[in-house]
Amino acid sequence: MKLSIRKEYFDAIKNGSKTIDYRDAHITFVCESTGRAMRKKVRGVKLVDNSKVSEMYPKELFDDVVQIEFELGEY
């Protein structure tokens, strides 16, 4: 996940003085082939160990050992 952030916050995260970050609780999904977009609320979040990721998603899809699972809702 890549997120834009102001330099002052980037520096604070880098030096360890900022350990929590807040973002809007929605995701905009954009279809790679059509460019169509839809926005969904994030209703819940949990961290999932890569070994427990559903068979629907190949483990090679992810670089990290832990993934973020988003529970989606209507907007």
Strand-pairing partners, residue 26, are 41
Q: For tokens 């994030």, name the residue.
A: 42
On the question of pLDDT at 67 being above 90, the answer is: no
Q: What is the largest CA-CA distance in the chain?
A: 42
How high is the pLDDT of residue 55? 65
On the question of pLDDT at 73 being above 80, the answer is: yes
Stretch 17-22: mean pLDDT, rounded? 95
In the chain, the DSSP E strands lie at 26-30, 37-49, 66-73
Tell me the pLDDT tens digit for each residue of 30-63: 999 999 999 999 999 999 887 777 666 776 788 8
CB neighbours of residue 30 within 10 Å: 9
Q: For tokens 């890549």, name the residue.
A: 2
